Amino acid sequence: MCVCQECIQALSVQNSELRTLLVQQASNDSGSSSGDDTLSRKDEMLATLSASVKQLELERDQLLEQLKNEEQHERGQQSLQRNVPGKILLLAFF
């Protein structure tokens, strides 16, 4: 469970960094009047960064779902462990 939380934290940091780069790149693009090659390269870089951000968000959502499922499973196991000893004790009397 801690590993999932660490992964989520790392993905969140990467997501923030990529978003910052996107904003910086967009502001740089608006202030420059470069040639078509440079604009094409910048557009490609923005598309790549956008795709990376979307991928990180998808991975984050998957990890959150996995963490949620693991927590539910652990709660279920703990509940079973609390209930089983009592049932075994009742069976011992019969």
Verdict on whether the full-model pTM lies above 0.85: no
pLDDT band at residue 88 under the 50/70/90 scheme: low
| Domain tally, the chain | 1
Which residues span the domain enclosing 64?
A: 2-93
List, for residues 13-55, the tens digit of each pLDDT value. Answer: 887 887 787 777 777 766 555 567 777 887 888 888 888 888 8
Q: How far apart are CA 48 and CA 56, in angstroms?
A: 12
Q: Write out the two tokens for 25.
A: 């790149």
17 or 69, higher pLDDT? 69
Over the range 21-47, which residues count as b (16 or more CB within 10 Å of their CB) and which as e? ebeeeeeebeeeeeeeeeeeebeeeee
With a CB cutoff of 8 Å and minimum separation 6, the contacts of 12 are: 60
CA 60 to chain CA centroid, nearest Å = 1
Q: How far apart are CA 26 and CA 33, in angstroms?
A: 13
